Chain A
């Protein structure tokens, strides 16, 4: 394990208020915290560990470490038998707290990377015998990816880097290296055999989802659950790199139409669907994106009150707002309003009703709005490669984002003429090419290309290679006549009858229960 870095000297170099910070001072509450946490982990009391991790850690942080780091791991090690694994876990929490409340220095970023490497290596060697709460395991993966993203952003701002920083960057070029990050996540997925476990679960040969990933036969849940969450970690990293196709492949083993371990922690649920939806939007699978955004936004609406006290509450609200923005964008490109639930629709109209109307006009103002919403809601894209330290120092941290935005707006522009078509198709059941062309003020040849573009753009290719339609209003052409086909959602008689059957059964059961006096 890396030796204790002189945190206090880095701290004062950074100029924050922790000039009084003594890494070796251990307040009583911290001492009792680590002693108890250590014991709970040894005794595998997952519920207690969760309480301490979620609640106690937060309240102690709020009281003593509002803007200072926790005591150094060396100072607390004596209270926990110098247990190697506990120290790694403590350090993981230590760095996460630092990133949340303060600004990490380059050396601290590198040390945190080292700690993750050590921690994951211990887990991958299969020697860990603990049961940890899913919340904590999710936070590890989530934070790992977040710190990677943060490092790439930091490294790309070369303009004001000191000689010392550049020297450190060159020396520790393995820290937060993109290969390293991806390979650790991949290793966790593979070593845990999580993909096979999920497969076998479908055939009833394994229990994983049913126990929320916990092991009730005396074993450890850590490797399996870390492997599971790493699939979501990979989705997130690939989205940050602009590789949406591969990102979606990484979570194929998870069935997002069902509950699963990913829904057991709200942070993981939201992160999964946010990135899934975003990737589908960029792949033009609009209907799929709308469906999933709709579901999660409804879920958040119903359950956010229960998370008001949790440390994740702010993040939940932020992602909620971003997904409304993404939904507004997606619906403007593909107006399948029928797929959006009542509650979500009214929220959406409140937040973005006006903007959506303007976006569908496809004029200059519309493009500015697409730009605004995309920029607000998109992931923080990164450039994964290290800079060439020879070239003049510039900031290139915006490059990746600018490319994705540019390509997205390019796609929007290609769909510019389609909303005009929709208006007319909603009015006519048949119309000749000549007439429609004159209404739209284009020549017939151009109209034919617009109609073909509409058909092409409103289709997408799903993950199995099948062509899927995203169309709301459908049509076909017969020589020089356009025939519009209204896609009425078929009356769901079957569904209706089933619900009434179940309801009637319920009423009859209730009546049976009434005893006549």
Chain B
């Protein structure tokens, strides 16, 4: 679940054992320190494990005295980076209301709100103001840009450059290079629209090109055909 980090490193020794712990013995207060260390490892190595983080939030729910708000903040930032997966909401369901009222969490909730409602301009403005909270997690900006592109590519076949610029918070030469990169690697194309502005063309997928989806629905599952084979035969 969540986005593939393009610079994801292979799982370390520690992450392998923690994943095992989470799947084999999750309801165990003793693994709490391991899970906390694992959050920090996810942050520094730019990897992500939603299962392990949910497990930790659950343990915090069982023993609120052991909760570390710093760790929770990191989990939430990582969850934001996993959009469009609903991980951020999943985390909020497990965090007590009074904790969510703290300033840094209120900010993160506002940021999530902007992203959920595609208000990218407001998002980047607020993110700039909250740099001190966000900079602890490397890769944040790229992850959100990936989400922004995802939303654009399921909505648009052709998107004006200005919309792309606002969504990704890049402009000018940097944006040119960005677009070049995706033309080479992601199948994008460009053309000019009537106002001589640039249009970016996304590759067709089942969401921005619904014809692609329809063909799947006409098929009949094999099991149903086997019902009538004796009759036909």
Q: Which residues of A contact B (CB under 8 A)?
A: 178-179, 182-183, 186, 241-246, 282-284, 384-385, 399, 402-404, 406-407, 411, 414, 448-453, 455-457, 459-461, 465, 467, 469, 474, 476-480, 485, 487, 489-490, 494-495, 498, 501-502, 505
Q: Does A384 contact B218, Cβ atoms closer than 8 Å?
A: no
Question: Mask for B202-233, Cβ within 8 A of A = 1, else 0?
Answer: 00001111110110011110001101100110
Q: Which of A402, A407, A477 contacts B89, CB < 8 Å?
A: A407
Chain A binder among B68-76, B130-138, B156-164, B174-182: B156-164
B152 within 8 A of A: yes
Tell me, in angstroms, the Cα distance from A505 to B228 when the chains sit together: 10
Q: Does B118 contact A (CB under 8 A)?
A: yes
16 contacts between A and B (CB under 8 A): A242-B94, A402-B97, A403-B93, A406-B97, A452-B155, A453-B118, A455-B151, A455-B154, A456-B84, A456-B154, A469-B206, A477-B157, A479-B159, A490-B218, A498-B220, A498-B227
The CA-CA distance from A476 to B199 in the complex, in Å, is 15
Residue of A nearest to B215 (CB): A490
CB-CB < 8 A to B118: which residues of A? 448-450, 452-453, 456
Tell me if A461 and B85 are in contact (CB < 8 A).
Answer: yes
Neighbouring A residues of B219 by C-beta, 8 Å: 494
Q: Complex formed: what's the CA distance from A498 to B221 in Å?
A: 12
**Residues of B contacting A402 in the complex (Cβ-Cβ under 8 angstroms):** 97
Once the chains are docked, how many angstroms separate the CA of A327 from the CA of B133?
A: 40
Known: A183-B27, A456-B151, A495-B220. A477 touches B156 (CB 8 A): yes
**Is the CB–CB distance between A476 and B208 below 8 Å?**
yes
B160: contacting residue among A451, A479, A490, CB under 8 A: A479
Q: Is the CB of A498 within 8 A of B228?
A: yes
When the two chains form the complex, which single residue of B58, B93, B120, B155 contacts A455, counting CB atoms closer than 8 Å? B155
- In the bound complex, do residue B1 and residue A465 qualify as a contact, i.e. CB atoms below 8 Å apart? yes
Q: Are A501 and B228 in contact (CB under 8 A)?
A: yes
Among the listed A243, A404, A477, A498, which residue makes an inter-chain contact with B58, where contact means beta carbons less than 8 Å apart?
A243
- Chain B residues within 8 Å of A183, by CB: 27-28
B171 at the interface (CB under 8 A from A): no
Minimum-distance CB pairs A-B, first 5: A452-B118, A242-B93, A182-B27, A485-B210, A494-B220
**Are A476's CB and B155's CB within 8 A?**
yes
Q: Which of A244, A406, A451, A467 contacts B90 (CB 8 A)?
A: A244
CB-CB nearest in chain A for B160: A479
Q: Please indicate the chain A residues that have their CB under 8 angstroms from the CB of B217 in the complex.
A: 489-490
A467 to B92, CA, bound (A): 21
* Contact status B94-A243, CB under 8 Å: yes
Contact status A246-B54, CB under 8 Å:
yes
Contact B214 A490 (CB under 8 A): yes
Cβ-closest chain B residue relative to A457: B116
What residue of chain B has the Cβ atom nearest to residue A460's Cβ? B86
A414 contacts B117, C-beta separation under 8 Å: yes
Known A403-B93, A479-B158, A494-B218: A453·B231 in contact at CB below 8 Å: no
| B92 pairs with A480, CB closer than 8 A | no
B96 adjacent to chain A (CB < 8 Å): yes
Give the dominant DSSP class at A's interface.
Answer: helix
Cβ contacts under 8 Å, A284 to chain B: 86
Report the Cα distance A406→B227, complex, angstroms.
Answer: 49
- A407 to B61, Cβ gap below 8 A? no
- Tell me which residues across on chain B come within 8 A of A451, comparing CB atoms: 155
Tell which of B119, B154, B159 touches A459, judged by Cβ atoms closer than 8 Å: B154
Contacts A414-B117, A465-B1, A502-B228 hold; do A241 and B155 have CB atoms under 8 A apart? no
Closest chain B residue, CB of each to CB of A402: B97
Q: Is the CB of B62 within 8 A of A461?
A: no
Contact B93 A476 (CB under 8 A): no
Provide the residues of chain B in CB contact with A460, threshold 8 Å.
86
Which residues of the partner chain A approach B44 to less than 8 Å between Cβ atoms? none
Chain A residue nearest to B202 (CB atoms) is A476
Q: What is the distance, in angstroms, from B180's C-beta to the closest C-beta of chain A?
A: 21
The reply to whether A453 and B116 form a contact with Cβ atoms under 8 Å apart is yes
Closest to A416 in B: B117
Query: Chain A contacts of B1 at CB under 8 A?
Result: 461, 465
Instruction: Compute how far the CA of A489 lies from the CA of B84 in the bound complex, rounded to whole angstroms.
Output: 27
Looking at the assembled complex, report how far the CB atom of B195 sits from the nearest CB atom of chain A, in whole angstroms: 9
Q: Is the CB of B29 within 8 A of A179?
A: yes
Which residues from chain B contact A384 at a C-beta distance below 8 Å?
61-62
**Contact B93–A479 (Cβ < 8 Å):** no
B63 at the interface (CB under 8 A from A): yes
Q: Is the CB of B58 within 8 A of A461?
A: no
In the assembly, what is the distance between CA of A459 and CA of B214, in Å?
A: 17
- Bound-complex Cα distance A474 to B207 (A): 8
Chain B positions within 8 Å of A186 at CB level? 26-27
Q: Is residue B64 within 8 Å, beta carbon to beta carbon, of the partner chain?
A: yes
> Does B193 touch A at the CB level, under 8 Å?
yes
Interface string of B124-160 (1 = CB under 8 A from A): 0000000000000000000000000001101111111
Q: Are A505 and B231 interface neighbours, CB within 8 A?
A: yes
List CB contacts (< 8 Å) of B1-18 with chain A: 1-2
